[in-house]
Chain A
Amino acid sequence: MWAYFKMEFIQFMSNKKNIAIYVILLFFSCYYGLVLAPAYDPIEKVDVSEIEARYLTNEEFLNNVVINDWTHPLTKFAASIYPEWNEYEKERLDAIKQDNLKNYAEATFKWYTYSDNIIFNWGGEILFYNPGYYTYGNDYARMDGHYAYLYSASRYTGYTEGESDLSVNVFEERTALQTLQRLLHSYLPLILIVSCMLFTVDVVLKDRRNTTLLQGLPLSDWRKLLVKGGVSLLGSLLAIIPLTVGLFIICIQMDSVMLNYLFRFIWLAKRYFQI
């Protein structure tokens, strides 16, 4: 059975169609790593000018507003919510300007929680999420924004509590692992399934060419199919290798956590095994 497995595997790997699929996947992943991944434009960015603009606008309002009996209720409302909001905004701004990412993550977590609380519960028709969510025909932009703010808030708590190295790329979900996670939510599973289908499409039919030869093998049909299944599974799993190349390209560009781990691993290996 082992010999049959080896034979099938060699046939699988030397099949020109399969090589073509591997090469196409390699192409695709390189293209993704070089062109598409750097062009990723998230809505929740680390944008100093945006934070600063919001901070200055609100600060000026707070400095000039006069509250008395004749003030409009909305003005009063604004004057009551902006002080805390701006406090977080200021923390964020100072932290990012001093490049203190831990503090930035902490302030941003507070900012997202507070913003979402205010906008979702009290915002109504006056306060809005980031304009990026309000696309044409999207009736649920509010819910999209709500979800994204809570998601970001939970992300940033993770950054404050976790031990990992922080960078702006981590905040914007651009690192290799985060890209992989994002792709797994979208079309990567589809690509894997389709390539698996293309890999295995002729795994049984190719035997028709040499039936007499193969019928002489001392193996039951059931075992043959089992072995073929195993080979196809292994071959499809190997498709991950060309896809990893793309990830590696993203790693190098985005000074990723993964590369860091890799270097740490190599360093440890060197230390322990005295290579």
Chain B
Amino acid sequence: MWKVLKTFFILEKSNKKNMFACMIVAAFVFGLIFFVKTEDLGNSLKEKSGEYQSLSVALNKFQNVDATDNGNGSDLYKNLVVQQQLIAKQRMAVKVDRPEWFLDTALEVVNLRASAFAMDGFDKVASNLPTKTENQLESVFYEHIKKTEVPLSLDSLSFFPFLAYLFGVLGFLWFIFMSIYSCGIMVEDFRHTSLIKGYPITFDKYVIAKCISSMLLVVVFLLELFVCSLPLIYFKGLGDPTYPIAIFNGTFDIYPIYKYIGLALLYMICISIFTILLSVILNVLLKNMYLTLFLELLLFVFPMLFPSMMNFLPFNPFNYMNFSSVLNGQTLDLANPVFLNSIHGLMYIGLSIILMIATVKLFLTTGKLKRV
């Protein structure tokens, strides 16, 4: 086993594809840094201006009438007018640097929004306002900040907040990256079948050795993500690793950044193992890397194209491949909401990994390699 691994390491070391993948990962991280910089993400003045603007668009749909408590406007109209005033107040609070005002008004806005969902005619303005889930996440976040009196940190380019953002984005991309990376994992070896047949080990051991060597490279990629973000410590500082992030895992909850990153890493490692094993199986069955990639991506987009299938098959591991949307609770806003729990997701992925290992052991070991 060890000798096979050593052979694989030598092969992987000289493989240009790995160099290329490393470069892509590094380019992605630096690209994202520049994206955050140019888009000015985390600039609350900009965010609040956007909210103010969409409220103006929403208010355009109402006749201008008396919006005081005794006025003759509809409840929703009054609600929106107050929201707009409060957002303006928040902008001012940012400008004059008064976080306590910002926090109080933020809580008021969140409560106003929560009450607006039940009002008549809300559908008319629904596209201009945050969804119920987004609002709930915000509410949990601000209540936590209020309770623990953590200072509102706003620099999204310091090390830890950036990492949280990076892993959030990777949640959408990691499966796609991994499937592109691993789609040809066995095909390359099949070109020299006589060589492989000569290896003095069984097929399952061969597969496991292959997976271990690929996983080591995945670990290298993950380390690279951290290493490439290190310059931010010098330029923007470390940031607060205990800063809260609102997430959904069955209930609306608060995770500190380090816990969020830990969960994301766990997910990414599980997804990597899952994808590599899936690629192995599909490679052996289909003997074509493009078909493998195609099928994997098809399975990946299937739950997104047909969200109702998620309710029908809650244990489908592909529901959880896009783990940022699971943690954001995005599936709750669908026409028929789906409750996806991130911890269950990890369990389902783990179970499918075990199933796939069993498949490799039971079905692919016996003589399949000879037919390659």
A contacts, CB < 8 Å to B: 16-17, 19-20, 23, 27, 31, 34-35, 41, 47, 49-50, 52-54, 56-57, 60, 130-132, 134-137
Contacts and interface: CB of A to CB of B under 8 A. Distances in A.
Given A41-B127, A134-B56, 15 more contacts: A16-B290, A23-B294, A27-B301, A34-B305, A53-B62, A56-B63, A57-B63, A130-B57, A131-B56, A132-B57, A135-B49, A135-B53, A136-B45, A136-B53, A137-B46
B60 interface: yes
Interface in B36-77: 45-46, 49-50, 53, 56-57, 60-64
B53 A134 contact: yes
B124 interface: yes
A62 to B, nearest CB: 13
B293 interface: yes
A53 B63 contact: yes
A135 B60 contact: no
A27 B301 CA distance: 10
A136 B61 contact: no
State the 6 A-B residue pairs at the shortest beta-carbon distance, nearest first.
Answer: A131-B56, A136-B49, A49-B61, A56-B63, A57-B64, A136-B46
B288 interface: yes
Contacts of B60: 50, 53-54, 130-131
Contacts of A19: 290
A136 B290 contact: no
B50 A135 contact: yes
Q: Name the interface size band of chain B.
A: 20 to 34
Contact of A20 (B46, B56, B64, B293): B293
6 contacts: A41-B127, A53-B62, A60-B63, A132-B53, A134-B56, A136-B53
Interface in B266-309: 288, 290, 293-294, 297, 301, 305
A227 B216 CA distance: 46
Chain B binding surface, main DSSP class: helix
Contacts of B56: 131, 134
A41 B128 CA distance: 11
A47 B61 contact: yes
A23 B46 CA distance: 39
A201 to B, nearest CB: 15
A17 B61 CA distance: 51
Nearest to B43: A136
Contact of B294 (A20, A35, A54, A130): A20
Nearest to B77: A53
A240 to B, nearest CB: 21
A210 B169 CA distance: 44
A17 B290 CA distance: 8
A146 to B, nearest CB: 18
Contacts of A17: 290
A53 B294 contact: no
B200 to A, nearest CB: 33
A57 B290 CA distance: 61
Nearest to B289: A16
Contacts of B61: 47, 49-50, 53
Central interface residue in A31, A34, A35, A131, by most chain B CB within 10 Å: A131
Nearest to A49: B61
A131 B53 contact: yes
Nearest to A23: B294
Nearest to B125: A49
A53 B65 CA distance: 10
A202 B53 CA distance: 50
Interface string B12-26: 000000000000000
Nearest to A19: B290
A16 B289 CA distance: 9
Contacts of B45: 136
Contacts of A34: 305
Central interface residue in B50, B127, B294, by most chain A CB within 10 Å: B294
A49 B124 contact: yes
A5 to B, nearest CB: 25
A38 to B, nearest CB: 12
Interface in B121-156: 124, 127
B121 to A, nearest CB: 9
Contacts of A56: 63
A134 B49 CA distance: 9
Nearest to A41: B127
B283 to A, nearest CB: 14
Contacts of A49: 61-62, 124
Nearest to B124: A49
Interface in B87-143: 124, 127
A158 B61 CA distance: 27
Contacts of B301: 27, 31
Contacts of B49: 135-136
Nearest to A47: B61
A51 to B, nearest CB: 9
Contacts of A47: 61
Given A132-B53, A135-B50, A136-B50, A20 B290 contact: yes
Contacts of A137: 46
Central interface residue in B53, B60, B288, B294, by most chain A CB within 10 Å: B60
Interface in B227-259: none
A57 B60 CA distance: 11
A44 to B, nearest CB: 12
B17 to A, nearest CB: 15
